[in-house]
Every structure is written in structure tokens, then in C-alpha cells.
Structure 1
Amino acid sequence: MSSANLIGGRLVIGLAAALACGGVLQAKEFGTGNPDLSLRWDNTLRYNLGVRAEERERALANNATYDESDSKFDRGDVVTNRLDLMSEFELAYQQYHGFRVSAAAWYDQAYADGDVETAEGNVFYPGAFPGPSTPSYRGGEYSGFTKRYHRGVSGELLDAFAFTRFNLGDVPVSLRAGRHTVYWGSGLLIAGHAISYSQAPLDGRKAVSNPGTETREIFLPLTQLSAQAQVTDRLSVAAQYFFEWDTTRAPEGGTYLASADIALEGPNQLPVAPGFVRPLIDPLTPGDSGNWGVMGTYSLDFLHSDIGLYYREFDDYNPWGLQVGGNFARYVYADNVRLYGLSWSAGPVLGGGSVGVDLSYRQNTSLISSNFSSVDNQGARGDTWHLVVNGLWLLPRTDFFDTGNVIAEMAYSHVQRVTDRKELFKGEGYSGCPTGQDKEWGCATRNYVGVAFSFAPQWLGVFPGWNISAPMSFDYGVSGNAATGGGSEGKYSYKIGIKGTLDERYDVTLAYIGYGSPRKYADIPSVGKTVVGGAGDIGLSDRNWISLTLSTAF
């Protein structure tokens, strides 16, 4: 074992012991001697152990697009053995003025071995070139980026902003400046179609590993200036302007939960045939400044509801797609997207719950493209409608549980028109959708419908100091493939878990997590292999796993 791995292993053992013992490190709210000045330091320590629960599907491993991520771990192998530390510090004067800083650190012993695993004699499908496996990493070893974010030991700064509140005449105004997040609209679970779409880059690694996580919990902070003013008792207005751009994150190719081997920032080459690769060069990204938005909400007496209006201009944080040239490949991101939004929320209604609606119209938005123009690096663009409807209920006491909550959400999208590069649009009826293929092979449709559910019944005082809950979630693409990439027909993920909380401080969660997408199989007689293709995250279709998580706040 290398010295780095030995140190990392000791770190895992030491922090796990601290977590198990509890109280080794204590939370502190520091006394300042000034009743107007408060200083707080909070920490959360989290340990996650995950084990692969499914056998590898041979047809997936035979496909060169998925073999690395599928071949890294066998059934029963530990796929994550990770410790995370989150630290948050806040200094406030009279609760209205101050600054906040948060940071994270991590180490995952499951990736101590940085070698990339490939399947022998896989097939480049649909080209169907058989041959020796060629990894998406030079030298068959994870890049520094992948090692940093999936193994560690590493860390990063998250929030870092100053805040203040003052009165402008009779109008209270709140300001925040620095790295933070702002979340608008009523969307809860389906990020790709809410008004909050691309209002911040998303932590896709967290979202994939924990289905059912609310969108606002996977927002990543960026440097910006945001303001909110309570103009009247009923009218509130807000605005934000960004000074930083960064990409949404995803599990990197060759790691367990990667949907494809070349996702997203870690891999450094694209295999195109046995022994032939194109280097993955730096992505084509927008500049740091230029994203901004304004909004206003008005409170109505009707059903104690609020109505909101929104306008945003942004460069997309989600990749448009992979541009493949004659001697390179790179990810491309769309700029100059405009969003018009209308939201409505009300509660309590329908048995004491709350309901929310997001309706948005995107102009000049990116559409799924077969490739990108070599002249201006642009793919297909168009105008699209998006609708999200949801409800949230706190559960009453019944004979089966004491309390809990349930969330249900539906999303719909519609392509109004394709405005640019129609020949590149990978949609049914367009030339970007290969001859003989349709939505089952990943081509977009004009309409898409998806649903998501979260259900968490809770039992209080089951044992002294213990509350027990059973968090469950499920999301499913009901119909069509979203032209903007926000879901596909038949794609699903789910989580079934049991969670115990001791003294409202220590959490233990055991969960089974699964994924799936419809798959199309084809036999390649020349090499005697069956390979698979299709729509959605088909690479995750055999990656079900069991997760045990321990966490405590101190």
C-alpha cells in the first residue's frame, strides 16, 4: 500500500471512530461579550459505505461507452467508503449584518486504486468495431481531477458571502455579496423543467447517489450579488447578477455511478475505434459574467397564495453536448438563453398541504444535438415550454405512522419551434436523428412528461431517544424524451430506506438505491457479442447498490 493510501485509510478509520464515539468534537457558539454580536461554528461529519448489489450486465460491459464504469466494481464490492466533513462559520451583528463561510472536505477509500478498468474485447457500438479496450483516461489511470473529487483527500470552499439588511425609506432591503445560492420558483424534485433551471450549477454526483434529493439541496454556490426588497406587505421584488460561471457536476467516467465513460470533466480522451482516440480538450464555456435575473411575488387572499413573475438571462451550466471534430473532442455549453416564468403557490389546501406551479418559456435554449457546427460551434436551438406542478403534505397521525411528509411532482415540456441548426437537432423527424432510429434510441420528441414522488413516514419515540423514518422516492419518465435533456421515457431511479435519529443529533440510514432505462439489444455476429444502446442513463441500469450512512452534527 502506498503512503498516500495508508494515510487516507487511517483518516477514514480515525474519523469513523470519532463519529461513532460522538462528542469528541463539540459544537460551539462562541460568546463575544456583546449581545448584538453572535459567532457560530457548525460541523457535520458523514460516513457513507456503499456495496454493489447487482451483477454486471454483459451487454453493457461489451459496449465501449459504458465498460469502464461498469467494470470498476463487481457485485459485493465496496463502491464507496467515504468520509465527508462540512464546516459552516457565521458572524452576525444584530442578526442582520455579517458574513458566512462554509467548506467541505472528503476522502473515499474505495478509489484508493486509481487504475481504470475496461472490458476485454468490447465493441464500439453502433460502429461495432471489436478490439482491445481503450480507456477514456491516458495511461489507464484516473486524471488528477477525478482523483481529487472521487478519492481525495481534498476539499473546497462553498459559501463565502457577506450579508446586510437595511431600510430604504420604509422598505426593508436585504443584500448578499459573494459565493452563495438563490432559488426561485415552486419546483421541488425535477430540476430540468423548473423556473430555477440553471439558476446555479447542480451537484449531479449528490443527486445520482441520493435519488429524491430536493433541487435546492444540490445547488452549488457561485459568486454573485443578490438583493430582495419587501416593497409592501404583499409585494416583494428580487434580483441577482453573477460574476462567476461553473459547470454542473456529474460522476466522472470510470467511477461507479457515471452514466458514460467520457462524462464529464475527468476523462481526457475519447476512444473512437480500437487503438484510436481523440483528445478531450478544454470545454467551450461562456464567460464568468452576464447571468442575471429579476423577479417579483405578490400575495393574494385567495387560498393564501402567492403569484410570481420572473425574467432571467443565462449561460447554461449544463453541457449542451459533446462536439467531436477531426482531431479533438470537447464539451460545449450554450450561452444567451432567456427564460420567462410564472409561478403560483398556495397553502394550506387539499387536506392541509401546499401546492405549487411553475410555468416557464425558454427562448434560444439548447436542444439535443447530433454534433456541432465546425463554423461557429453551435448546435440546435429552439423555444420550449416547461410546466411543473407539485404538492407537499405533512402527514397526520394514523394507525400506521405518527407523522411524515409526502411530495408529488409532475413535469411537462413542449418544443414550440426549432430556430437554429435544425439539421443538427437529434429529434424525431429531423436529420440529426439517424435513419432508422427513434425515441427508443435517444432521439428527442416534441413533448415530454415525467413524475417524481417522495414519501417519508415517521415513528416517534420508538426507543428511548430514537425516532425512526422510512424515506422512499421514485422518479419516472412517463412519455417522450425531453428535447432539452431533462428526462427520457422509461428512465427511472428509486430509493427505499430506513433512517434512525438519536437525540436529534445522530443519524443512521440504510437504503437500497436503483436505476433503470429501456435498452435496445443487438447481436454482433462477427465478434460473437451482444451490445446494448438506447435512451436515458442506460449505463446505470445494472448499478443498483446498498448504502449505509452515518452522520452527526457538532
Structure 2
Amino acid sequence: MPSPTPPRVRLALSVAAALASGQLHAKEFQLDNPDLNIRWDNTVRYNLGVRAEGREHALANNATYDESDSKFKRGDVVTNRVDLMSEFELAYKQYQGFRVSGAGWYDQAYADTDVETNTGNVYYSGVGAGASTSSYDNGHYSGFTRRYHRGLSGELLDAFAFTRFDVGDVPVSLRAGRHTVYWGNGLLIAGHAISYSQAPLDGRKAVSNPGTETREIFLPLTQLSAQAQVTDRLSLAAQYFLEWDNTRAPEGGTYLASADVALEGPDRLPVYTGVTRPIGDPLRPHNRGNWGVMGTYSLDFLHSDIGLYYREYDDYNPWGLQVGADSARYVYARNTQLYGLSWSVGPMLGGGSLGADLSYRKNAALVSSNISTVDDQGARGDTVHLVVNGLWLLPQTKFFDTGNFIAELAYSHLQRVTKHAELFKGEGYAGCPAGQDKAWGCATRNYVGVAFSFAPQWLGVFPGWNISAPMSLDYGLSGNAANGGGNEGKYSYKVGIKGTFDERYEVTLAYIGYGSQRKYDDVPGIGKTVVGGNGDIGLSDRNWLSLTLSTAF
């Protein structure tokens, strides 16, 4: 749906177009009525992945991670997946119409639904060792895990109507239905941008493809959104949600799961050998209630835009497991307020733009050691977040023809803990066990992280072929974010080569890796065992090789 587009967003779109693949191709239908336009896009994608790193036995010896680590050994196919994305849009005079999209998939690598465990591991609580206890009933994937990791299955994505009309001299754009709206300037580090929890994220896509921009992993929800171009300089927007859904993550027992009990798939929480607690339905917020307003104003100074934001939201990311005497469940925080200020400059001389997001979250969820069974709450607090980034469309050099480069820095600061300080898993608080610190995953007052994405491109290398080399790195420089948005020493990276033929067919070969700090101990009867650490510990030995083929029709 056409709408006023800030200069920096236009630059981002031009970068994407410069490196675009067949997904830009669409089937347009010629109709007798010139006011009607129908487009139908279909993209088929095949992904073959192979485990490139051997299993770390010390990691598999910890029952928190053994199921995901034991499913595949080095050289095994960890994904053999076909995806279909279909998008349909009908527009009348460009500004009225509707859009529907859906996805379908099947992954043969998960045809075997057995959950693999490492016999002889340890539940490092000092209790129990020996034969492992699965986090799935009967040692088989649940229906939820089978649906999203094996298939054959599918889902509806976008489904919304749109219109544009004038109120006096002010053009107003409206959307109603399942769609996404993205505010602010954050590009790569989702946990600290103004757009945090503006939509649930497809964490499976984010983990399997490091360097993916945040807006590309937003999942649509039913909502009403509006934008008004009040003057040539002033734009106002608002959204109100009619649906809530949680962020997705690789399910426990699958290759890229960070822990065996994540997130919706597992049926039970192993406590120690032979003893489990059922994982019940999550404590979810209501569908309605999330909303936000924003305004942007264009300045003559450096051709820049300044934006103001206010949002109230229920978090799409879980606090964690609430573990009771006889059951466990995931809990999601409600009623967080976000105040935001953004500034962007671009395009500038040299083909780049700069952007910054500054936000203050009041009553935000903090990392917690458990969730209170008295009021179903974890630790709460007020936090400050800053994201600064630059985006460049690269000029021709003797090394490449074009390309893009994104660099982003994120900073967060814990202003105060306002509720359940005894549960806050932060240094100096009771939720951080005695003798432990940030190297064990305890939060710090301040966090700094960086992310980079670099994709040089060579045009016409062979007849009809353009070649690019997408590379990315995400790294926690210092501290552990109090909201769980990053850890010191945690990293993920991707190094790849991509060929595009006839602007329609793509082939990409990439090596993808992950790492986090780990703590080891020699456990009697078990041997060397990972007993803790900092970050996504479970992904530390999951490097893999990915081959992707895609085309549009």
C-alpha cells in the first residue's frame, strides 16, 4: 500500500533492490479495467543444511542441552526443507484493496520424530545422574514441534485491507487485518530498538540466518494502523492490536534450540533422573491492549528526520519458566511503557545514512531466576536503550562493483529495579546465586553489543549471473543486558557466497556459526561437563553449512 516513506527507509529499500533476487518478480494480470491491478508472487525455497562441527561431549553431558545436541552428529543433514511463500494483492486505483500471503513447508530431516538424549548425562543440581529423561512425552516430538519443524504444514501470514483518502488536505492511509508495522531506525539488534516487541519475531529464521534485518523477521498480527501526512514535514501514525502471539524459537530437541525445554514444543520439564514436571499452557496476555502512537518531522538540518514515540505493550518474549511444586509454564510480562526518540540522516554524500534510537522502558521485564507463584510476576525495572547505526550503498571499487554495509551498536542501562528484586538475576541480587557473576549469565547494569552486515556484489560475472558475498557478525562486547537482549562474549556469524541468475534464480552457500562462554567442571561418574556459562550456551557447538536454492514464479 503506497504511503509516505521517510528518506532513510527509501535508502534501505534501494539497498535491498540493488541486491534483490527473484522475489522482486511478480505475476501481474492484465485486466480490462485499468484501475484494477492484481499481483501474485510465489517463491519456492529449498534449504539443505549439514552439521559441520562435532558434538562437544561436555555440553551433551548437561541435560539442559543434550537433546538438541544429540539429534545430529557431524556430517548429518540437519535440515532438508522446502518452503513455499505465496503473496496476492488486489488494488483499485493503487490506494484501495487487500493483500493476503501464506507459507507452507516440509523438512525431511525431521521425518524421524524420536527425541535423542545423551545417556549418562547429569542434571547439574547435585541430584541424580544416569539415564536421561526426555522433555517430550514418550520420547517423541509433540504435535507442535512436528508441525513447525517437519510439516507438511502451513500458515496464513498477511491478510489485510488497505485504503487511502484525504481529510481536507491531509492524506490518510489505513490498514485493517494481519500485518506488521515497524517504527524507528533499528536494523540488526532487535532487543534494544524502538521497535522492540512491536511484533513477535520469527526466532527460527533469525537463528538460522544471522544478519537478517529485524523487519524481515517480524510476524504479522491482527491490528488497525493509520498514517497521516499532516504537512510536507510532519507525519503522524498509530496502531492498535486485536491479537497477541509469542515470539517463536527453535523448539527443544531440534538442532538450533538453545535449550531442551524451549519454547512451546516440549511437554515436560526434567527435574532429575526419572522425575519430570508437566509444562502447562503459558500464561499469555490478552489479545487486545497493545497500542502506540508516533510522529516524525523532517528538518532542513542535514536533511534529517526526528521522531517521537509512545507505546504500551505486553511482551512477546517470555520471562522464562515459572516452576511450581508440580508443574511449569512460560509467563509473559504485561503493561510495559516505552518512550522513544529517533533521529536519522540520509541519504548523504557517499551513499549512506545514519540513524539513532533512544528509548526508555518503564515497568519492563528483567531477567529473572524464577517467576513468583504468588502474583505470576518476575523482576521488573526501568531501562534505557540506545541504538546507533549506519547503512551504506557501496560505490564501485577495484574489489567489487557495488554492495551494502550496515554497522550497528547497541547500549542498554538498568536504571532501577522496581519489583521482585529478589528474583532479578543480576550481579549483587539474590537471583544471581552466590559466587556467580556475569560469566555465569547474571545481568549487569550496562551492556554494549555490535552487529555488522557486509555484502559486496559483482555484476555480470558470467552471462546472466550476479555474484555477492553476504557476511555478518553479531557480538556482545561488554556486560549482560538486564532485559536479556545480549551477553558478553556471545556471537553469531555467517560467511557466504550467493549467485543470482536472470534476477530470478538464487543459489547461496553459507557457513554459519555460534559461540558463548561456558563453565566446566568434572562431575563424579560423568566426567567433564558444561555446568553453566553466559549466552546461548546450547548453540556453542552447532556450526553448520547451508545450501539454499530459490526461485520466483
- TM bracket (short chain): over 0.9
Q: Please, which runs of 5 or more residues in structure 2 have no aligned partner?
A: 1-21
Look up the equivalent residue of 2:161 and give its one-letter code.
A
- The alignment of Structure 1 onto Structure 2 pairs a total of residues equal to 530
Distance 1:102 1:226 in 2: 18
Question: 1:306 maps to which residue?
Answer: 305
Distance 1:128 1:109 in 2: 38
Question: 2:373 maps to which residue?
Answer: 374
Look up the equivalent residue of 2:30 and give its one-letter code.
G
Question: 2:347 maps to which residue?
Answer: 348
Question: 1:407 maps to which residue?
Answer: 406
Distance 2:510 2:48 in 1: 11
Question: 1:320 maps to which residue?
Answer: 319
Look up the equivalent residue of 1:380 and give its one-letter code.
A
Distance 1:530 1:37 in 2: 64
Q: In the alignment, is the contact (CA less than 8 A) between 1:125 and 1:531 conserved in 2?
A: no
Matches within 5 A, 1:32-431: 32-127=31-126, 129-349=128-348, 351-431=350-430
Q: Deviations over 1:34-62 (max 9, x none)?
A: 00001111100000000000000001100
SS in 1 for 2:473: strand
SS in 2 for 1:488: coil
Q: In the alignment, is the contact (CA less than 8 A) between 1:345 and 1:356 conserved in 2?
A: yes
Pairwise CA distance, 1:321: 1.0
Question: 2:16 maps to which residue?
Answer: none
Q: In the alignment, is the contact (CA less than 8 A) between 2:61 and 2:526 conserved in 1?
A: no
SS in 1 for 2:492: strand
Pairwise CA distance, 1:468: 0.2
Q: In the alignment, is the contact (CA less than 8 A) between 1:303 and 1:348 conserved in 2?
A: no
Matches within 5 A, 1:497-516: 497-516=496-515
Q: Please, which runs of 5 or more residues in structure 1 have no aligned partner?
A: 1-22
Q: Deviations over 1:276-309 (max 9, x none)?
A: 0000000011000000000000000111100000
SS in 2 for 1:146: helix
Q: Deviations over 1:147-184 (max 9, x none)?
A: 00000000000000000000000000000000000000
Question: 1:11 maps to which residue?
Answer: none
Look up the equivalent residue of 1:371 and give its one-letter code.
N
Q: In the alignment, is the contact (CA less than 8 A) between 1:242 and 1:290 conserved in 2?
A: yes
Query: TM-score with structure 2 length normalisation?
Result: 0.95
Does residue 449 (structure 1) correspond to residue 448 (structure 2)? The answer is yes
SS in 1 for 2:216: helix
SS in 1 for 2:346: strand
Pairwise CA distance, 1:120: 0.7
Distance 2:26 2:184 in 1: 34
Matches within 5 A, 1:511-526: 511-526=510-525
Q: In the alignment, is the contact (CA less than 8 A) between 2:518 and 2:533 conserved in 1?
A: yes
Q: In the alignment, is the contact (CA less than 8 A) between 1:524 and 1:531 conserved in 2?
A: no
Look up the equivalent residue of 1:69 and give its one-letter code.
S
Q: In the alignment, is the contact (CA less than 8 A) between 2:421 and 2:429 conserved in 1?
A: yes
SS in 2 for 1:427: coil
Q: In the alignment, is the contact (CA less than 8 A) between 2:322 and 2:373 conserved in 1?
A: no
Distance 1:352 1:70 in 2: 44
SS in 1 for 2:257: coil
Pairwise CA distance, 1:529: 4.2
Percentage of matched positions with identical amino acids: 82
Distance 2:448 2:318 in 1: 22
Distance 2:238 2:352 in 1: 29
Pairwise CA distance, 1:32: 2.3
Pairwise CA distance, 1:31: 2.4
Pairwise CA distance, 1:131: 1.9
SS in 2 for 1:484: coil
Look up the equivalent residue of 1:383 and give its one-letter code.
D
Query: TM-score with structure 1 length normalisation?
Result: 0.95
Pairwise CA distance, 1:531: 3.0
Look up the equivalent residue of 2:206 and give its one-letter code.
A
Question: 1:480 maps to which residue?
Answer: 479
Pairwise CA distance, 1:349: 3.2
Distance 1:367 1:245 in 2: 20
Does residue 550 (structure 1) correspond to residue 536 (structure 2)? The answer is no
